[in-house]
Chain A
Amino acid sequence: MIEVKDVYYSYPSGIEALSGVTVTICDREFVAIMGENGAGKSTLVKHFNGILKPSKGQVTVDGVATTKESVAQLSRNVGLVFQNPDHQLFSETVEEEVAFGLRNFGYRDKEIDERTTRVLDLLDLAKYRKASPFILSGGERKRVALASVLAWDPKVVVLDEPTVGQDYRQKERLRQFVLKLNEEDRSVVMVTHDVEFVADCSPRVIVMSHGRIVGDGDADDILTDEALLTKASVLPPQVTQLLWQLSDLGLPRNVLDLNKAKKLLDNVMGVRTGG
């Protein structure tokens, strides 16, 4: 469990990125953090594994304050995949990149090899095992960064903008994968601007604006709250936009799901379904 209590954080430049954030991420939760550029989303998640320590307030992971442990200790439980894979990748081959963390955590060679193979298969990267991460495309590097963290199987997986550079198919794989992680009792926290991806995943959604949390609830409620979305520079999903524009026809305003919308529209348009 991650508990953030009235946390303030200012960068050395003096810019205050977090202005009193209080939030709890429970075990086995699936959370998306959304909000405008510069809202403090990445700053917040960097507190979860202690890369950043609060200027004021407290962050605890399983009851222990992040100021009391090193990033190395914390990251065994909380794995953070950076927004920009180039901030994270440095090895000469994809395989070494993935093995690096495992080696540092003291896994034996056989186990390192097994885990590396498993995670590369999972993320469709097996064919690049011996390649340099730097010859890969942006989307592929993003997946290598993800693989390198998933390899040691942290209890909490934090993904900063995981869908960037991913095509539709990769996004669908990522969605299945994240849902599976969550089912396997892992907490998943993702920072994202990808409102369609969030609509498809339907997690708990936390909305940030100007260093504060301004909304927190189920995707269905949050992503259809017009005033909140406007405040945080989030556009509603297309399905929601469509139904909002048709609300005078008696269509509900809180629908995200494509198939649900289709059924509602069938009625309005007088389409007979199911034969």
Chain B
Amino acid sequence: MVVLTGPSGCGKTTLCRCFNGLIPNFYGGELLGDLVVHDLSVKEHPTSELSQHVGFVFQNPENQLFALSVEKDIAFGLENLAIPRDEMRRRVDWAMDMVGIRSLKDQAPYELSGGQQQRVAIACVLAMQPDLMVLDEPTSFLDPVAAKNLFEVISKLNKELGLTTILVEHRLDLLSTYSTRIIVMDKGKIVSDGAPRDVLASNDVEALGIGLPKVTRLYRMFSEQGLTFDRPIISVDELVQEIRRRAAK
């Protein structure tokens, strides 16, 4: 479960568009170097083929929703893969339940709020059961509880089904405890890559203006005063434990 982050305009979305071959197949331009997804070179295989392995949730959910009902939109990808009807029904229901939108199934996506549309777009991709799912700021329109629930669902799919996910996100406060790896980009390059704890603790990352969770900032303030910790703090629970340990002394 990889988080891709970095300043606005640093190339996160551009990199994601390479994963299912939208670059170079759709956007054109000049692509140097090799990019291999699921043993397929993105330069040699069309997006239609790559899409069977890589699910993509766009930054703007409106760019991928078009059907007249939520249910039909979710079924669309499956219809194109000629999935049998019973299986299709099962997967559509499963995907709607995963993101909690079953009550919206007969509504038109264009009538829904931004947050609801975002969850429909995610269900569309989940139903395809890809090997790899790329989500470009999937929680930008979600309320915090819905965002947390979504990260929990993704984390569960990651652990139980082994679904690899790449999330573009600025909100590290909610994500740092779920993700297994954070990649930081700046000016079109990867500048940091590692376990969330190590990446969030590095000074380079703070210099880039990455939004550190407030508890990590508190940890840094304490560290600067000379307090030593066994490991960098990235969650509220960890800091609670640490403070209790010291307060008890």
The residues of A with any CB-CB pair to B shorter than 8 Å are: 11, 13, 15, 35-38, 42, 83-84, 86, 136-140, 161, 164-172, 193, 195-196, 233-235, 237-239, 241-242, 245-246, 249, 258, 261-262, 265, 268-271, 273
Show 10 residue pairs from A and B whose CB-CB distance is below 8 angstroms, ordered by the A residue: A37-B113, A138-B137, A139-B8, A139-B9, A165-B140, A167-B211, A193-B142, A238-B213, A245-B237, A262-B221
Number of A-B contacts (CB under 8 A): 141
Which residues of chain A are near B147, meaning CB under 8 Å? 193
Contact A138 B247, CB 8 Å, known A36-B146, A37-B115: no
CB A212 to nearest CB in B, in angstroms, measures 16
Rank and list the top 5 A-B pairs by shortest CB-CB distance, nearest first.
A37-B115, A168-B211, A139-B8, A169-B209, A233-B145
On whether the beta carbons of A271 and B146 are closer than 8 Å, the reply is: no
From A38, A195, A270, name the one whose CB has the most chain B CB atoms within 10 angstroms: A38
| Structural contact, A171 and B116, CB atoms closer than 8 A | no
Shortest CB-to-CB span from A128 to chain B, Å, is: 9
* A104 vs B146: C-alpha distance when bound (angstroms): 40
Residue of B nearest to A245 (CB): B240
Q: A37-B115, A245-B240 are in contact. Are A140 and B144 (CB under 8 A)?
A: no
Q: Within the complex, what minimum Cβ distance (angstroms) separates B10 from chain A?
A: 8
Which A residues are in CB contact (< 8 Å) with B31? none
Find out whether the CB atom of A165 lies under 8 angstroms from the CB atom of B59: yes
* Interface check B141, CB cutoff 8 A: yes
In the complex, chain A residues whose CB is within 8 Å of the CB of B244: 246, 249
Would A13 and B144 count as touching, CB distance under 8 A?
Answer: no
User: B62 near A86 (CB under 8 angstroms)?
Assistant: yes
How far does the Cβ of A178 sit from chain B's closest Cβ, in whole Å?
A: 17
In the complex, A245 Cα to B60 Cα: how many Å?
A: 37
Residues of B within 8 A of A (CB): 6-9, 13, 59-60, 62, 107-108, 111-116, 136-137, 140-148, 170, 173, 209-215, 217-218, 221-222, 225, 227, 236-237, 239-240, 243-244, 246-247, 249
> Considering the chains assembled together, what is the distance between the CA atoms of A42 and B114 in angstroms?
10
Q: Which residues of B have CB within 8 Å of A139?
A: 8-9
Are A170 and B8 closer than 8 Å at their CB atoms? yes
CA distance A166 to B243 in the complex (A): 32
In the complex, what residues of A have CB within 8 A of residue B60's CB?
A: 84, 86, 138
Judge whether A164 and B137 touch: CB under 8 Å. Answer: yes
Q: How far is the CB of A16 from chain B (nearest CB, A)?
A: 13
Instruction: Give the distance in Å from the alpha carbon of A234 to the alpha carbon of B142 in the complex.
Output: 11
Q: In whole angstroms, how far apart are the Cα atoms of A168 and B217 in the complex?
A: 13
By a CB distance below 8 angstroms, the chain A residues around B148 are 235
